Amino acid sequence: MNVDILGSIDVELEAVGFGMEQVTAYVKKIVNHDSQKADNILAFVQEHKLIGGLVRIPIQLDAICYSWDRAVMSGNEPKTLTSLYQAITLKLWQKDVLKLGISESETRRHLNEHSIHSLSAYQIQQLAPSEIYLLDIIAFTGIYNEIIEFNANDRHRIYDSLKYQGIVLPDLPETILRKISFLHTSDVTFLDADKSCHFLHPTLQHFFAARYFAGCWMRHERLLCIRLRQQTPNTTFMAPQALLQKEKYSTRYDTLWRFAAGLLQGVPKAEHEAEEPIQRYFQELAAEPLDLLGSVHHRLLMNCLGEVVPDVQSNWDRELVEHQIYSWVQFELNFSNTRLTLPYTEYLDSHAIKGLGQQPHLPPAILKTCFSSCVMVVEMIKKQLREY
């Protein structure tokens, strides 16, 4: 909202949503039939700081509770932020497809509130390709321009740029954006044509932006980069690899890189390719330019690798990346016994943990950092305490 046009403001209030006590009460109420499921959801929320703000929004918290029963989040398989956001967005798209009246295809005529929930993400993509693409490109354009609030001029410049490139848009894009669940309108007192909008949560914008980036990466397509808020909009094309190298350590893109890794995992290589997309992605992360001090680079590796579930069917060398992280852990252990540069609770995988367990004496800082990470670390601490 542009507060300059409102004049003097007596009181400014911010809607903050649920507090953590309310989040806990809500989850236990919604899944009161399964206390173990409620505990698992709350534990996941506590372990992933990125979704701390997301769960304060009731519609998103409801989507998380619902999605926990979906195949992508069920069972004992490792759960990642990417898999959670995939489940949340699938649930909300299922709700929105009926609202939008997207097509009159044979599939569409047989859909209802019950049958829509059986559709997979691929089927939703087939039903609403232009609507989903529009949301992805808006999210990416916002990150590219450092914009979280899209005014009417921003949106129409995006539409015009896409049409100029021959990209098919929904017939009434403004109507689509007003109806979908992922965006929120700020200027409630303005006419529809003048309202600005933003994503329900910043991480949702990063997730949709990462979808666009990962899609271009897999298809070897250039990114459409639209410069907004200039006198004359400037549209350029950039290879995904070039953007990664340019913005690798930018905090603005940090969450996008993390989601991109999760979205690329499990994607098979094309017939003419020698490597899987996820392998090419980590190779590019390891390429020049690199962080001179090393800590920022290894934080990036940890965050991205934390979104990639180990897969025995994958051919890429995950252990090579784990070894790089482990080597940095060793360096910090040798460099300082009292202070850690990186928050290793964000990512401590098997390779690093096993290596740490072989250290003759771990400093208190390491023991404190690792304590809550996993059972292997607990066993390692027990061994250290017995030796003392």
Domain boundaries defined on the chain: 20-127, 129-238, 290-387
DSSP state letters, 17-69: ---HHHHHHHHHHHTTT-HHHHHHHHHHHHH-GGGTTGGGSHHHHHHHHHHTT
153-198 confidence digits (pLDDT tens): 999 999 999 999 999 898 889 989 988 989 988 665 545 667 889 9
Q: What is the pLDDT of residue 104?
A: 47
Residue 234 near residue 280 (C-beta atoms within 8 A):
no
Q: Strand, coil or helix: what is 15?
A: coil
Question: Which of 316, 323, 314 shows the shortest CA–CA distance to 351?
Answer: 323
Rounded to a whole number, what is the largest CA-CA distance in the chain?
72
Q: What is the pLDDT of residue 105?
A: 54
Residue 78 near residue 60 (C-beta atoms within 8 A):
no
Q: What is the pLDDT of residue 346?
A: 46
Residue 295 near residue 342 (C-beta atoms within 8 A):
yes
Residue 95 near residue 238 (C-beta atoms within 8 A):
no
Q: What is the pLDDT of residue 41?
A: 83
> For each of the chain's 388 residues, which pLDDT tens digit applies?
444 445 566 665 555 678 888 888 888 888 877 788 888 888 878 777 667 766 787 777 877 777 676 555 555 566 788 988 898 898 889 888 888 876 545 455 567 777 787 888 888 998 899 999 999 999 999 999 999 999 999 999 999 999 999 998 988 899 899 889 899 886 655 456 678 899 988 889 999 999 999 999 999 999 999 999 877 768 999 999 999 999 999 999 999 999 999 999 988 887 788 788 999 999 999 998 888 777 889 889 988 988 888 765 566 778 788 888 777 777 776 766 545 555 544 444 443 444 444 555 555 545 444 444 444 444 544 555 555 4
Name residue 238's beta-bridge partners: 223
Nearest-angstrom CA–CA distance, 19 and 30: 16
Query: What's this model's pTM, rounded to 2 decimal places?
Result: 0.77
Which region holds residue 146: left if phi is over 0, alpha if psi is between -120 and 50, else beta? Answer: left
Q: What is the pLDDT of residue 14?
A: 57
**Length reported for the chain:** 388
Q: Strand, coil or helix: what is 264?
A: helix
Sign of the CA dihedral running 238, 242, 244, 250 = negative
DSSP state letters, 89-112: HHHHHHHHHHHHT---SHHHHT--
